[in-house]
């Protein structure tokens, strides 16, 4: 098969931990042809089909110069067997436009994973609203007054922007309410932007667990991102320590409930963020954690992913 990865620049990959690289390596081991482009390389013109300026990815096995340079060529997306949208967040306007180009490619006959319309319909912070039985006390609002009331009720809260990634822009306000007004003004831009507020979950000290769901089925191990030092965030991007561990009964209950629902909407790969017993985010753009889980447990996440991809394509 011919697989096109729409991803960040290949030169930026940290191959020792990059999940897209793990997918590529597993697919190549099965004899699949790999192509890559960036979202900026997608284009469409009336009378034609969505195409991309791509380059063939030939893996070298070298940890540093991991791919052999190939000449760029234009490829119609409907001519490859699968398009894998793996551009990292944030989900900004350009990402949004890319999903529309990919959706047009679907009309041309392309198979795109994750499904472009579902990427748009499941913003990673707000998607949890569909599953209130699995989340902690949560407020989504622009109103400073509502945030103050939420803090008065719950005392210890987390505030975060809806378009943040990697733990950026997350604040904790304790019972003393110190700096709550200033933080709200910073995040909601004096009422111009919507903020998510959640009750602080003390279980974060044991890790913010990334539970991967592939083809509706949970990977049997989670990656607990454990905050270090005085940091409240477990995100790897801000220094969290990743520790793989078997799914708890609650993790599995949540994953087995949410997973099939999202898989039916064309979301082949989903990453749930779970603190304690509560889902805090549902990641659909470019979930990671493949290599850390595989390295620590021996469970081959990339193999499970490519198995699920091949199965989905066989049903076309």
188 is catalytic: no
281 is catalytic: yes
Q: Kindly report the three-state secondary structure assignment for every residue of 126-154.
A: HHHHHCHHHCCCEEEECCHHHHHHHHHHH
Residue 125 lies in a domain: no
In whole angstroms, give the CA distance from residue 181 to residue 144: 8
Q: What is the mean predicted confidence (pLDDT) over 130-156?
A: 98
Residue 79 lies in a domain: yes
Which CATH number does the domain housing residue 260 bear?
Answer: 3.30.470.20
Same domain, 109 and 39: yes
Catalytic residue among 55, 160, 199, 209: 160
Residue 130 lies in a domain: no
Catalytic residue among 225, 235, 251, 292: 225
55 is catalytic: no
Same domain, 153 and 222: no
Same domain, 30 and 79: yes
Is the per-residue pLDDT at 166 higher than 80?
no
Residue 20 lies in a domain: yes
Given 164, 184, 200, the domain boundary residue is: 200
Catalytic residue among 188, 208, 233, 292: 233
210 is catalytic: yes
- CA 119 remoteness from chain centre: 10
Instruction: Grade residue 239 by pLDDT with cuts at 50, 70 and 90.
Output: low
SS3 253: helix
Q: Strand 195-199 and strand 138-141: pairing?
A: antiparallel
125 is catalytic: yes
Same domain, 207 and 157: no
Catalytic residue among 26, 106, 251, 273: 273
Given 176, 200, 224, the domain boundary residue is: 200
Catalytic residue among 114, 188, 235, 283: 283
Same domain, 19 and 114: yes
Residue 315 confidence (pLDDT): 85
Same domain, 168 and 264: no
Which CATH number does the domain housing residue 190 bear?
Answer: 3.30.1490.20
Residue 129 lies in a domain: no
Same domain, 108 and 159: no
With left for phi above 0 and alpha for psi between -120 and 50, is residue 252 left, alpha or beta? alpha
Residue 67 lies in a domain: yes
Q: Which domain holds residue 237?
A: 203-314
In whole angstroms, give the CA distance from residue 51 to residue 48: 9
Please give the structure tokens belonging to residue 304.
């499970």
DSSP annotation of 203: G
Q: Which of 223, 284, 307 is nearest to 23 (CA)?
A: 307
Sign of CA dihedral 238, 244, 247, 248: negative
283 is catalytic: yes
Given 200, 219, 246, the domain boundary residue is: 200
In whole angstroms, give the CA distance from residue 145 to residue 197: 12
Same domain, 154 and 219: no
Domain count, the chain: 3
Please give the structure tokens belonging to residue 64.
């540093």
Same domain, 25 and 114: yes
Catalytic residue among 115, 210, 251, 292: 210
Q: What is the mean predicted confidence (pLDDT) over 92-101?
A: 95
Which CATH number does the domain housing residue 18 bear?
Answer: 3.40.50.20
Residue 132 lies in a domain: no
Same domain, 151 and 76: no
In whole angstroms, give the CA distance from residue 246 to residue 209: 11
Same domain, 154 and 173: yes
Same domain, 236 and 143: no
Q: Which of 196, 195, 185 is nearest to 137 (CA)?
A: 196
Is the per-residue pLDDT at 254 higher than 80?
yes
- pLDDT tens-digit readout, 256-313: 999 999 999 999 999 999 999 999 999 999 999 999 999 999 999 999 999 999 999 9
| Residue 270 main-chain phi, psi, to 5 deg | -135, 145
- pLDDT tens-digit readout, 22-55: 999 999 999 999 999 999 999 999 999 999 999 9
């Amino acid at each position: 098969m011919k697989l096109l990865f729409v991803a960040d620049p290949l030169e930026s990959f940290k191959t020792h931990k990059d999940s897209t690289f793990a997918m590529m390596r597993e697919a190549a081991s099965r004899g699949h042809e790999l192509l890559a482009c960036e979202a900026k390389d997608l284009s469409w013109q009336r009378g034609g089909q969505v195409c991309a300026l791509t380059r063939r990815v030939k893996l070298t096995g070298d940890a540093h110069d991991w791919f052999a340079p190939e000449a760029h060529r234009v490829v119609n997306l409907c001519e490859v067997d699968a398009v894998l949208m793996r551009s990292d967040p944030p989900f900004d306007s350009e990402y949004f436009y890319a999903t529309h180009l990919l959706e047009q490619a679907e009309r041309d006959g392309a198979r795109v994973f994750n499904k472009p319309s579902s990427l748009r319909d499941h913003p990673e912070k707000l998607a949890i609203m569909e599953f209130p039985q699995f989340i902690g006390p949560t407020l989504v609002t622009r109103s400073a007054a509502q945030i103050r009331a939420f803090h008065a009720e719950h005392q210890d809260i987390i505030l975060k922007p809806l378009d943040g990634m990697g733990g950026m822009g997350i604040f904790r306000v304790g019972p003393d309410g110190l700096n709550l007004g200033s933080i709200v003004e910073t995040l909601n831009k004096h009422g111009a932007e919507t903020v998510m507020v959640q009750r602080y979950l003390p279980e974060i000290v044991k890790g913010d667990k990334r539970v991967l769901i592939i083809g509706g089925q949970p990977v049997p191990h989670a990656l607990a991102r454990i905050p270090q030092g005085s940091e409240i965030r477990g995100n790897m991007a801000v220094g969290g320590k990743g520790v793989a561990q078997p799914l708890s009964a609650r993790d599995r209950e949540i994953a087995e409930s949410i997973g099939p629902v999202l898989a039916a909407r064309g979301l082949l790969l989903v990453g749930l963020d779970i603190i304690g017993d509560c889902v805090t985010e549902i990641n659909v753009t470019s979930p990671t954690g493949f290599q850390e889980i595989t390295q620590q447990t021996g469970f081959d996440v990339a193999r499970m992913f490519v198995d699920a991809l091949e199965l989905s394509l066989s049903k076309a």
